[in-house]
Structure 1
Amino acid sequence: MQYFNSNTILYLNGRFEKSADTNADLYGQSLHYGYAVFEGIRAYSTHNGTRIFKAREHFERLKRSAELVHIPFTWDINKLIKQTYRLLEINNLKDAYVRPLVYCPPAMSLIAAKEASIMICAWEWEAYLGHKLLKVSVSSFERPNPKSTPIEAKVSGNYVNSILATTEAKSKGFDEALLLDMYGNVAEAPGANIFIEKNGKLYTPPLGNILPGITRATVIELCHILDIEIIEKHLSVKDLKHADSAFFCGTATEIAGIASIDEYTFPLKWTETVGATIQRTYRSLVLEKQNYEVII
């Protein structure tokens, strides 16, 4: 996939520059050690114009991620949101995926950075896992122990774990992986949170060993609005393989239904699941087709 061309503009440390004219430092601490933080944000074309979904929540999490790994974050969030809208306008993007990245300067030492840069880019991107029901495999890789790295932060280096899990799953003929935590509990996908349905109720792993997804929080809010019972609890693989249905959620993924986990096929027809209801409602929400100001 081509993410930019000769005319693409990105935002870099307060300036708008052509992507093709920018470069990365080969001695950067972020390149050598994965010492950077990022966000994934979506903008949608709505009847109210181009709207960035939950922009403030995403930039606040970006700041929190930086703080958790001691990367300086000196930018004003209101200005970053304004500049992101300007970036979309300059590139004539109405439906887009937005990627802010906070990265560190040259350093070969293993100590916290004293300064950092910020880059924001955007491109057109369909739902990350597509629109078909997914065949998923329980990964042999585990999510990192939260005592080894802050799991609640979107740290670039943490995603080597995600690459390994997804690569393994695809090599076995699956669409995506599902990782467990160090206790054998269901954690999340390489880039998305998971919900399962049983007897009309939704279940999802609690915070602690997973990324606190903004889409995950939105799904929980939608459940409260739609009077769907939602329970946060530790889930085993056995729970997973006795569920009626399941789905992944995330900014890049949006809401993606799961057909099967390993050899187990979920018995409910997707269109009749709670997940399908959430999928339709989420789509209406991000496109501002209904009155959901309470959670925007």
Structure 2
Amino acid sequence: MAQSIHDFHDDPRNADIRIWINGRLLPRAEAVVSVFDSGFVLGDGVWEGLRVVDGEPVFLAAHLDRLFEGARALALDIGLSRAQLAAALRETLAANNMHDGVHVRLMVTRGIKRTPYQDPRACIGNATVVILPEFKRPKPELLAQGLKLFTVHVRRGAPDVQDPKLNSHSKINCITACIQATEAGADEALMLDPHGFVATCNSTHFFIVRKGEVWTSSGDYCLGGITRANVLQVCREAGIPVFEKNFSLTQVYSADEAFCTGTYAGVAPVRSVDGRAFDTVPGPMVQRLQALYADLVRSDAAAARAGSGA
């Protein structure tokens, strides 16, 4: 049975979480936004997913960089500084007694509209900012067996249509890709760029391993992934040949290993693409990269704790 890479085993503690909305910490049942909110009406907003390790939202600076870059592109005034958002994140974690095994969704929309219309000038008041934390870990059995991918007909768009660098609430192309992959019995969709080269997955980034080399797409048609960038970094630091380049499905099918990256699951092995199975899952390179990435995560959390005086 197909599963999402974002699947998790239910944690009863999530029933009592408190969610930060515009400066107020509210019980889960009371954490609501208006039907006139721009995010609900039009998907007008930006967001980040963050992983909490040893009490720290790891790679926070990079996540805030991407959030503010997206908000600037949309001419969206978040209304809070980076320092204020970081403080709100930590306030939310403390209120929920959260230290590890936590995933946080930080969401910003343009705020309330006086009428459900796309023009930003129809907004009244300030942006809506939500911090939604959950006790959530990726399923170990899914990571052990690997992901099953299916190449879908839905392409990644050019930046003059819907810029894939923008981590907006408007994800309909990724959703339609996910639906097609799910209907095909796969866990995740593999998406091509407008030229037919491999681009990315619907919610993760995609890599292959060929003859000791690690390949990923050129990056021209995918989100600026933070875990993707970190994997590129650890490869270079470890002396592993790594390339951002165009490659085709033919080269995917004949690869030695494949894996996906994302904030939630880190480095996740792929067991098959379009029915072509890989011999060993996880393969030796994937196992090595999982260990190197885990070291980088722990190092970032330790540096964050030292910087905050914790």
Give yes or no for the alignment of 1:147 onto 2:160: yes
Give, in whole Å, the separation in 1 of the partners of 2:128 and 2:25: 14
Taking structure 1 as the reference length, what is the TM-score of the superposition? Answer: 0.89
Give the corresponding residue for 1:59. 64
- Distance apart, 1:17 and its partner CA: 2.6
Q: 2:118 is aligned with what amino acid?
A: L
> Is contact 2:22–2:128 with CA below 8 Å preserved after alignment?
yes
Q: Which of the residues 19, 44, 48 maps onto 1:35?
A: 44
- Which amino acid in the other structure matches residue 279 of structure 1? Q
Counterpart amino acid of 1:160? I
Which deviates more, 122-131 or 144-153? 122-131
For residues 303 and 149 of structure 2, the distance between their equivalents in structure 1, rounded to whole angstroms, comes to 32
2:105 to 99, 102, 105: 99
Aligned pair partner of 1:138 in 148, 151, 156:
151
CA separation of 1:225 and 1:163: change in aligned 2, threshold 3 A? same
Q: What is the match of residue 223 of structure 1?
A: 235
Identity %: 25
Partners in 1 of 2:12 and 2:168 — Cα distance?
21
1:90 to 83, 87, 95: 95
Q: Deviations over 1:236-290 (max 9, x none)?
A: 11121121111000102311101111121224x2354322211122123323499
Go from structure 1 to structure 2 and tell me whether the alpha carbon gap of 1:6 and 1:126 turns closer, same or farther (over 3 Å shift): closer
Greater mean deviation of Cα atoms: 20-29 or 187-196:
20-29
2:11–2:136 contact (8 Å) kept in structure 1: no
Which AA in structure 2 matches 1:208?
D
The amino acid across from 1:246 in the alignment is A
After superposition, the Cα gap between the structure-2 partners of 1:292 and 1:228, relative to the gap in structure 1 and judged at 3 Å, is farther
Greater CA drift, 281-290 or 191-200: 281-290
Q: Provide the alpha-carbon RMSD of the alignment.
A: 2.5
Displacement of 1:291 after TM fit?
A: 8.9
Q: Which residue of 1 aligns with 2:82?
A: 77
User: Conserved in 2, the CA contact under 8 Å of 1:133 and 1:256?
Assistant: yes
SS at 1:152's partner residue? coil
TM-score by length of 2: 0.85
**Structure-2 change in CA distance of 1:231 and 1:147 (3 Å):** same
1:20 pairs, out of 25, 29, 38, with 29
State the distance in 1 between where 2:186 and 2:303 align: 36
> Is the CA contact (8 Å cut-off) linking 2:138 and 2:265 kept in structure 1?
yes
Contact 2:57 2:301 in 1 (8 A): no
- Give me the whole-angstrom Cα distance separating, in 1, the residues matched to 2:40 and 2:300: 42
Correspondent of 1:280 among 291, 306, 309: 291
Question: Does the aligned pair in 2 maintain the 1:284–1:290 contact within 8 Å?
Answer: no
The one-letter code matched in structure 2 to 1:112 is P
**In 1, Cα distance between the equivalents of 2:245 and 2:77?**
34
Structure 2: runs of 5+ lacking an equivalent: 1-9
Instruction: Specify which structure has the higher proportion of helix.
Output: 2
CA contact (8 A) 2:269 2:282 kept: no
Stretch moving more, 238-247 or 3-12: 3-12
* Equivalent position of 1:253 in the other structure: 265
- 1:112 aligned partner: 120
Secondary structure, aligned partner of 1:39 = strand
